C-alpha cells in the first residue's frame, strides 16, 4: 500500500473502525439527550432535585471518577505499547485497566446497595429515576467494556496476534465509558 493510500485510509477509517465510532456517537447522543431531559425536568421542581442530590455520596463519586480516569490512562498506555509491539507492557496495562474497572464497579455497586438500602429506588422521585437509569446504564457499559478488554487480553495472551483495529475498537469503547462518566458525574452529583 502506498503512503498516500495509508494516509487516506487513516482519514476515512478512524481508530477502531467506523462502526465503533457510529456506536460511540449513538451512545453519546443517548446519554446526552437523557441528561438534557433531566436538566429540563429539574426546572419544574428545583427543590426536589437539589434535596435529592444532597442524598448522594459525592466523595464516592469523585473517587470513582478518579478510578475511571486512571483506567483511561492505563488504556492509553496499553495502546501506545501495542503500537510499539511491547506485548509484556500491553498485558500489564490491560490488567491495570481491568483492575480499575472492577474497582469502579465495586464502588458503584456499594453506592447502589446503600441507595437501595435507604429506600432511594427508581420510583422515589424523578431525580432518582434519572439517577438509577443513567448511572445503571453507564454501569452496564463499564461491565461490557470489561468483557471487551478481557477478550482483548485473552487474544493477546493466547495468540499475540490481535489486529490494530480490534485493539483500537476495545480502547475506543473503554474511553467512551470514561467520557460518558465525565458528563454524567457533574450533572448528577454536582449540578443540582
- HSE value, Cβ hemisphere, 13 Å, CA-based, for 20: 20
pLDDT at 16 over 70: no
Q: Which three cell numbers stand for residue 153?
A: 487480553
Model pLDDT, residue 32 = 94
Write down the residue that cell numbers 424523578 correspond to: 126
Pairwise CA distance, residues 24 & 159, whole Å: 28
pLDDT at 4 over 50: no
What are the distances in angstroms from CA 41 to CA 86, 116, 130? 50, 23, 10
Query: Which domains, from first to last, does the chain contain?
Result: 3-191 (1.20.120.80)
Q: Are 129 and 122 in contact (CB under 8 A)?
A: yes
Residue 192: pLDDT band by 50, 70, 90 thresholds? confident
pTM: 0.88
- Name the DSSP letter for residue 45: -
Q: Which three cell numbers stand for residue 31?
A: 446519554
- List pLDDT tens digits, range 159-189: 877 888 889 999 999 999 999 999 999 999 9
Pairwise CA distance, residues 163 & 159, whole Å: 11
Average pLDDT of span 126-135: 97
Amino acid at each position: 500500500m502506498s503512503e498516500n493510500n495509508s494516509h487516506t485510509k487513516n482519514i476515512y477509517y478512524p481508530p477502531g473502525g467506523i462502526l465503533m465510532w457510529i456506536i460511540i456517537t449513538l451512545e453519546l447522543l443517548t446519554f446526552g439527550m437523557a441528561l438534557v431531559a433531566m436538566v429540563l425536568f429539574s426546572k419544574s421542581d428545583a427543590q426536589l432535585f437539589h434535596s435529592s442530590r444532597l442524598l448522594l455520596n459525592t466523595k464516592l463519586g469523585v473517587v470513582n471518577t478518579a478510578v475511571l480516569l486512571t483506567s483511561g490512562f492505563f488504556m492509553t498506555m496499553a495502546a501506545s505499547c501495542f503500537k510499539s509491539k511491547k506485548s509484556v507492557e500491553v498485558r500489564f496495562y490491560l490488567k491495570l485497566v481491568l483492575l480499575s474497572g472492577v474497582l469502579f464497579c465495586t464502588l458503584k455497586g456499594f453506592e447502589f446497595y446503600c441507595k437501595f438500602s435507604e429506600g432511594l429506588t427508581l420510583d422515589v422521585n424523578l431525580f432518582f429515576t434519572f439517577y438509577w437509569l443513567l448511572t445503571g446504564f453507564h454501569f452496564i457499559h463499564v461491565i461490557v467494556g470489561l468483557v471487551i478488554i478481557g477478550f482483548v487480553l485473552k487474544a493477546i495472551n493466547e495468540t499475540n496476534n490481535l489486529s490494530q483495529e480490534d485493539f483500537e475498537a476495545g480502547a475506543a469503547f473503554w474511553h467512551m465509558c470514561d467520557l460518558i462518566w465525565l458528563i454524567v458525574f457533574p450533572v448528577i452529583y454536582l449540578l443540582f
